[in-house]
Amino acid sequence: MGVFAIHILNALLYSSVLFLIAGGLSLIYGVMRILNLAHGNLYALGAFVTAWAIGLALGAGVPNFVLFLLLPAGAIAAAVAGAVIERTLLRPFYKRPEEYQLLMTFGLLMILEDLIRLVWGPNPLSATSVYASLGSISIAGDRYPTYNLVIIAVGIVAAVFLWAFIYRTRFGVFLRATSQDKRMASALGVNVNRIYIQAFTLGCFMAGLGGAIVVPSQSAVLGMGVDALVLAFIVVVIGGLGSLEGALAGALIVGVVREAGITLFPEIELAVLYLIAAVVLLVRPAGLFGRAGT
């Protein structure tokens, strides 16, 4: 029983992080119709910045609770990077064919990958002291790291906040209007350019937050961004590109399958995920929650 509960928690843990990454990717696509191939690198950036900040703080000898306050540093860094990227590199492309947008973000992927290596070197960065400081709790007789529960909580809180943000605020209305019909929204007085930069920044913030909360439990390594991107793709393909509900459902499915796969079919775990994605696409071309015609 305890083992089963732990499997469920692990699946949720995995889903939380995936939701943060894929939700951001999907939000950006939904509003801007841009598929950001460099999205995984912003997740990696979040992880590296947080690990670096925590390392600095530890060196300065600050108490443990302050370290928790440093966790969002990575998310903020990713958001700032996102705002700069949108303003300088993506804006010239909105009127060009999407092939160019994909290429631009692929170029960004290569640049960000190496910039991280340039700044933090090739060795992994870790922030395990935060992870260790919380210790573990007993779940039905088995020990489970308390920090993992923090990650799950952050994932749930992020999902709720995002939902409230998009369906209950004025900004959310603008965002949804832009996503449905950019020209109409613009004609009705929505500043589409501003919505774009806000959406992109928010999406990058989510990816950065994913990286920031994950880094205490696993180190920040080079290549983590590219790996995460591919998983985020599966999530959005299953859930429907551009849909946040879809990202949530997709993240849960991938989280559960992955957790089951690691114990039951480790060799073909990734292949099974892709197979699920392919089947979903054949049955429901726009994904589980996608809108038709995209």
Residues that bind another protein (CB under 8 A): 29, 33, 35, 37, 89, 92, 96, 98-100, 102-104, 106-111, 113-115, 117-118, 226, 230, 233-234, 236-237, 241, 266-271, 274-275, 277-278, 281-282, 285, 294
CB of 133 to another protein, least distance (A): 35
CB of 131 to another protein, least distance (A): 28
Strand (E) or helix (H) holding 148: helix 146-168
CB 158 within 8 A of CB 206: yes
When the beta carbons of 152 and 280 are compared against another protein, the nearer one is 280
CB of 66 to another protein, least distance (A): 34
CB of 213 to another protein, least distance (A): 25
SS3 186: helix
When the beta carbons of 118 and 187 are compared against another protein, the nearer one is 118
CB of 63 to another protein, least distance (A): 38
Candidates 62, 36, 2; CA nearest to 199 is 36
Strand (E) or helix (H) holding 68: helix 64-70
* Tokens coding 229: 């991107």
What is residue 124's DSSP assignment?
Answer: -
For residues 145 and 55, give the distance between their C-alpha atoms in angstroms, rounded to a whole number.
Answer: 21
CB of 111 to another protein, least distance (A): 4
* Tokens coding 88: 């300088």
When the beta carbons of 190 and 226 are compared against another protein, the nearer one is 226
For residues 42 and 151, give the distance between their C-alpha atoms in angstroms, rounded to a whole number.
Answer: 18
When the beta carbons of 34 and 212 are compared against another protein, the nearer one is 34
CB of 78 to another protein, least distance (A): 18
When the beta carbons of 213 and 253 are compared against another protein, the nearer one is 253
Upper half-sphere CA count for residue 22 (Cβ side, 13 Å): 34
Chain position carrying tokens 């990696």: 44
SS3 265: coil
SS3 94: coil
Q: How far apart are the first and last CA of the chain?
A: 44
When the beta carbons of 128 and 294 are compared against another protein, the nearer one is 294
CB of 210 to another protein, least distance (A): 20
When the beta carbons of 114 and 142 are compared against another protein, the nearer one is 114
Strand 142-145 versus strand 136-139 pairing type: antiparallel
For residues 227 and 260, give the distance between their C-alpha atoms in angstroms, rounded to a whole number.
Answer: 19
When the beta carbons of 155 and 240 are compared against another protein, the nearer one is 240
